[in-house]
Amino acid sequence: MLNENFYKNLRIVCDQQISVAHVCRKMEINRQQFNKYLSGQIYPSKYNLNKICQYFQFSEEELNLEPDQFCQITSKNLQSELHSERSELEKIISSIPSQNKDLSRYEGYYFSHFHSSGYPGFIIRSLIHIYQYKNKFYTTSIEHLWDKENGDTQKKRFKYEGAVFYLRDRIFITEVEILTNNVIHHTILCPSYKNIVDSLSGISMGVGSRSSHMPAATRVEYVYLGKQINIREALGNCGLFKLNTKLIDSNILARINNDINDSEFMLRAYDT
């Protein structure tokens, strides 16, 4: 009898990757064969199992744990990797002055909304987490690039890790895409002047996720979700949305409109 935990856990780790096709290419495993592992039809051979364990950095025993237990160790492993990889980054961050006491009120999860440069005519809603570690502030962002309203067979995921700074009454975020390592985003946000943070407006700069990598800037709107959320549910609400979507509040759509008035000569953020 096949172990049901294995294919469930395999799905969990694959959900954090760009796509299943990307995983198969990296591991050099046939896509149709791998789909059978994901559906629980067959269990991998020792050779392919070894590839899977090495790629995801989990043992066979860990991949066969109960999903709830597995989710706990994936979270711990992610934090462990994150902290070890940050030693060099921390040296750079430590050299930049930042009013960290002012950043504390912005800790938590947000939906980020902005026009997609890689998919013209679409708006991206992504999930971003601002958190503190060793008196410094960092971000983790996840993008699901597929049409949430009409369905999409080409499902792509991107994950960013970044650093946050508070300088001269502005929030600066610099992020690196860690699954492909070929994209850097810069975001500057205006702070919230309300007693309770509910949204943040700013400008985001980067390149398209597709092959052109054309530099672009867009208005961006963060909507605060809370310090503790159901991450799986929040990710389920992320994706690509048409410009006339009813699933995103009209006020958010207005604030990320990239029109420039005749009296203006550059794209400016809306100050909250």
Are 235 and 127 in contact, with CB atoms under 8 Å apart? yes
> pLDDT value at position 76?
55
> pLDDT value at position 21?
83
CATH of the domain at 176: 2.40.128.120
Question: In terms of Cα–Cα distance, which of 231, 230, 158, 224 is closest to 189?
Answer: 224
Residue 87 has pLDDT above 60, yes or no: no
CATH of the domain at 20: 1.10.260.40
- Sign, CA dihedral 119-183-225-76, equals positive
261 part of a folded domain: no
Q: Are residues 223 and 136 in the same domain?
A: yes
Q: Which of 87-91, 101-105, 189-193 has the highest mean pLDDT?
A: 189-193
Structure tokens at 230: 């159901």
Residue 89 has pLDDT above 60, yes or no: no
39 part of a folded domain: yes
130 part of a folded domain: yes
> pLDDT value at position 84?
47
Q: Are residues 136 and 35 in the same domain?
A: no
Are 200 and 106 in contact, with CB atoms under 8 Å apart? yes
The model's pTM: 0.67
Q: What is the pLDDT of residues 71-83, one digit of tens each?
A: 777 665 544 444 4
Question: In terms of Cα–Cα distance, which of 190, 164, 192 is closest to 99?
Answer: 164
Distance between the two ends of the chain, CA-based, in angstroms?
Answer: 58
Looking at the structure of the chain, the number of domains it has is 2
Place of tokens 């597995």: 70
Q: In which domain, by residue range, is 15 found?
A: 4-74
